[in-house]
Amino acid sequence: MRCCIVRHGETSWNADRRLQGHQDIPLNELGFAQAEAAGRYLHNCHQQTPFSAVVSSDLIRARQTADEVARALGMTVVSDVGLRERHYGQFEGNTPAEAEAQDSAAYAALVARADLAATPGAAESLQAMLARIDACLSHLARAYPDKAVVIVTHGGVLDILYRRAMGRTLMGPRDAPIPNAGLNWLDIEAEGSGLRWTMLAWGETEHLTGTSRDEIL
């Protein structure tokens, strides 16, 4: 399965550098423009290699982005809660500075990613997040073998996918950009009870005009 994995367009909380998690924040004006630009670009790709599905996180910022892409492709969107952002517990709605002031030890543990089972500040554990992402992608890889799909999701999910595709540990700070409305291309194939990953391209923003904000964590 060839995947174009799109991070949602910008929201007002992205602009304010606030952790969104499961909070349902819509796209801002720039975010809609970014989503439309992604749709136009993927429409051209669709003419060369047709996409078989557009699958999105159910959170509104991802769904609004996916709706713009699907409109450009003449398709409909399938929502999957497995593609949601990580739940950041008590830190949702905070900037990094506010989160540190609220509970410096718990926020430091969230940033450090030193324990996959940890739930700092009542955040979702990386272990739990990984399980739902893998379940979603395993289903898609088996449903669309040798097909191309568009997946619209969030920065935290993309971070995990990058690490899996590059054979990196899920612990510690990330080392790759995750821009709003960036395009990331992976081949994901079902292999036994697991998945085989191939990185094709990461963080493409040539379809956008102006700057695109990177993920916080």
Residue 25 to residue 40: CA distance in whole angstroms: 24
Query: Which of helix, strand or coil describes residue 161?
Result: helix
DSSP-assigned letters across all residues of 62-131? HHHHHHHHHHHHT--EEE-GGGPPPP-GGGTT--HHHHHHH-HHHHHHHHHT--TT--GGGPPPHHHHHH
Residue 90 to residue 94: CA distance in whole angstroms: 9
| Chain centre distance of CA 111 | 18
Residue 184 to residue 138: CA distance in whole angstroms: 18
Q: Which residues are catalytic?
A: 8, 85
Residue 14 to residue 61: CA distance in whole angstroms: 11
Parallel, antiparallel or unpaired: strands 148-153 and 2-7: parallel
- CB neighbour list of residue 114: distance below 8 Å, 6 or more residues apart: 171, 172
Asked if residue 170 lies in contact with residue 75, where contact means CB atoms within 8 angstroms, the answer is: no
